[in-house]
Amino acid sequence: MKKLFVLFVFAFTSQIAIAETSIKAEVNGMVCAFCAKGIEKKLNAMPEGKGAFVDLKNRVVVMELKDGQEVTLEKFTQVIKDAGYTVSKIEKVPQSAEAIKLELLKTNGAK
């Protein structure tokens, strides 16, 4: 019984640890800030998000979700498409937008 309880707690906490907190998309055609501003504006207007950022060098767009909020990958893809761009890869990741930003900054620095 004790083992079962420990297993349950482990499974529960693990689930929290891998909770998806951000949507990260690689975007084709995103080559200039003036043109890509629409993506940032549209994503920042989404009530489910805490805020979005655009990384031109890695052509990545990220939006962190508010706790308990959900946005489907299809909806996110449509927002990018409506801004005039194409999503080549999209995923939910268990990281904050800030953590992803730092990661990308390191990647940029290494380039």
Partner 1 sequence: MFKNTRLQALLAAVCVMFGAQSQAAALMGFEDSAMMMTEIGRYNQEWMLNYSPKIGHAFGVEVMRMSAKREQATTIVGLNYNGLIKRWNMPHAQANVWFQGSIGEASGLYDGFAYTPSLQFDAETTRLYFLAKARLIRANDMNYDTAVVQAGFSFYETSFDETQPWFVLEAKTMRNTEPSLQITPAIRLINKNYFFELGVTNPFQGDSFAPRVNAMFVF
**Which residues of this protein are in contact with partner 1, per CB under 8 A?**
27-42, 53-57, 59, 82-86, 88, 108
* Least distance (Å) between residue 73 CB and partner 1: 18
Judged by beta carbon, residue 13 or residue 108, the one nearer partner 1 is: 108
* Least distance (Å) between residue 94 CB and partner 1: 24
Strand order in the sheet with 60-65: 49-55, 60-65, 22-28, 86-93
The Cα–Cα gap between 97 and 24 comes to 9
* Least distance (Å) between residue 65 CB and partner 1: 20
* Least distance (Å) between residue 10 CB and partner 1: 40
Judged by beta carbon, residue 72 or residue 86, the one nearer partner 1 is: 86
- Which token pair is 106? 């390191």
Judged by beta carbon, residue 54 or residue 93, the one nearer partner 1 is: 54
